[in-house]
Amino acid sequence: MDRAEIEERVINLLAEAVVVPREDVEDLRTDLREDLGVDSMDYVELITVLERDLGQQVEREELAYVRTVGDVVDLVERLVSRRDAAAAG
């Protein structure tokens, strides 16, 4: 999965998890808390949606520094790389 595919997937997952229109999360600079009003319960929902979609556990600590849509994309990119490396190894 390349970066563009990950971005598209994250945008759709965020819109689902946070229950906002897709266009509200299309800008990778969008701040989850300040711009979207994401709270701790939304982060729990985001973790659940990511785990379901990726088929792997997302450590809560990994979300500690996630502030923007782009940060979520970076996180998912790392998780996908880790998953693919484990599958190949």
Cite the active site residues.
Answer: 39
CA distance 43 to 60: 9
C-alpha dist (Å) from residue 29 to 32, 40, 45, 69:
9, 20, 21, 6
CA distance 51 to 29: 23
- With vertex at residue 58, the alpha carbon angle to CA 52 and CA 59, rounded to the nearest 5 degrees, is 155
